[in-house]
Structure 1
Amino acid sequence: MAPAPALSVSAVTPELTDAAIRMLRLLDSPEDAKVLAPLIEREILFRLLQGEQGAKVREIAMADSRLQRVSRAIGWLKTNYRETLRVDDLAETAGMSASAFHSHFKSITAMSPLQYQKQLRLQEARRLMLLGMRDAASASYDVGYSSPSQFSREYRRLFGLPPSQDIERLRDLPQSLVAA
């Protein structure tokens, strides 16, 4: 059986909408908020748990759920994206078999662990180049690539342009668009 998708959308019930509006109204009444906000927060959680996404909300809250275990592996990847990736080691970090880990990881992130690591590397290299801290070859080595040509191919595949052209294009954009 394939794991359920990590994200899904459901209609908001009138009861949940009402609780959310009452919570927002408390922004104008700090004294009332001290007493009522915890009660409304509890009601919102109750409504979420009773709704269509209740199972997903419960899974998020569980300390050792698949989602939490994959989240640990994602945290490791974010810290160690430069390292050579062994899916077996990452699965062990998550406390799962390699096949179960791969399946759950993909259902949560919509990509394989290797694709996720690649995207982390490319995003960091792009940031380094955009800040003027590195040229493409240096950035590629800094983020864990051993081949600048492989880096350039993967960069172009993700961002649509070779590194130097993409960075030039980004620098020419108004700052308000780059920050968005």
Structure 2
Amino acid sequence: MIDDFAKAYLHHQLRTVREVLVWKLDGLSEYDARRPLTATGTNLLGLVKHRAYSDARYFGEVFGRPFPGPVPRWNEAGAWENEHWAATDETRADILTLHQAVCEHVDTTIDALPIDAPGHVPWWPSPDVKLFTIMLHSLTDTTRHAGHADILREQLDGRTGTTAEYEQPIDVGVREAYWAKVSQAAAAWS
């Protein structure tokens, strides 16, 4: 009974945070969705692409249920370097379609397997895992990247939050006053 509850809870949380990550692209220009916003090149569309590739591998290959779409294997040359950004021949629609297809594949895998189903992650030091471990890993990683996306989006246009439904209107005066208060407190330590 607890296994069913844990699996359902983790699956619900994973679905929710995947939606948050994709929502961060809402209303952005192609340029803003793609442009690097950190010194390491982190960008919003690249985060979505990375999560699609990662989950295609974790819920596909790891459990002997390969994702049928065009996702490079984990050990292909350039796989890691090329999954964190959108190349000029990749449209936002291409990446969102891939992400949606991967999400459906992930959901099917989770629904089909028990939470203790064995898997094998060849790139991990301890490669033998259970579905529970991969669900938790994916939820953690997706949540981490949704947090990155939240900060990147705030830098672009000030929008914050998890969904349009809960988004608060931007009050520039309130934000500036809060920023000044935090800045003043930090300056006291300089």
- TM tier, smaller: under 0.3
Q: Report which of the two has the higher share of helix.
A: 1
Between structure 1 and structure 2, the one with the greater Rg is 1
Tell me the TM-score normalised to structure 1 length. 0.28
Tell me the TM-score normalised to structure 2 length. 0.27
